[in-house]
Amino acid sequence: MASNIYFQRKRDIDIDYKQEYTHYINLEKMGQIIYSILGYPHRATSGKSRIFDKHYSLVYRNSEIDFTKCPEYVKKYYEIKNVYISLKYDVTDQKLFYILYILYNTTKKYKNLEELVECFEEQISNYKHTKDISDSRKLILLLFKERVDKELI
């Protein structure tokens, strides 16, 4: 079954515009998705340059990842993005990476993606740090990730 996803391997390679794609993803974003699912959503954006350097083996040579599921991960990424838009929350890649992480690692049952997004957004809102920090800063903290693990996984 064709996935109808364009995987851009290198930056300067153009899309075949004769072919219609439902989704587009570059290798960097795919690496961030895999890195998140493996348990590092808090590092996926701030450490993205390390995905192709220090963490290359962890991401691309990991026996825990079934690479045949990459099209599923990409479709889910875009599905989560659409849920965020429909619920009128601010959409960031970091949030999408966290939802993917929770979705593929949780033992809890969520009725749907909307419920999961609502639960996650509640965790962001309720998280208090010693300093007043933005939501985006919360998402890169190990302590926030540990809270997500405790509450949502």
pLDDT at residue 136 tops 70: yes
pLDDT digit string (tens) for 71-94? 999 999 999 999 999 999 999 999
Provide the domain limits for residue 73.
5-10+18-152
More confident residue, 121 or 34: 121
- In the numeric block, which tokens belong to residue 76? 């889910």
Average pLDDT of span 126-145: 93
Q: Model confidence over 17-31: pLDDT tens digits?
A: 657 778 888 888 998
Q: Which of 43-52, 114-123, 128-137 has the lowest mean pLDDT?
A: 43-52
Burial of 131 (0-12, 13-18, 19+ CB in 10 A): exposed
Q: How many domains does the chain have?
A: 1
> Cα-flanking dihedrals φ and ψ of residue 73, to 5°?
-60, -40
Q: What is the pLDDT of residue 1?
A: 39
Predicted local distance difference test score (pLDDT) of residue 65: 73
Q: What is the mean pLDDT of the chain?
A: 86
pLDDT tens, 16-65?
Answer: 665 777 888 888 899 899 989 999 999 988 766 666 666 556 666 666 77
Alpha carbon 135 to its chain's center: 16
Q: What is the pLDDT of residue 66?
A: 78
Cα–Cα distance for residue pair 88/149, rounded to 1 Å? 25
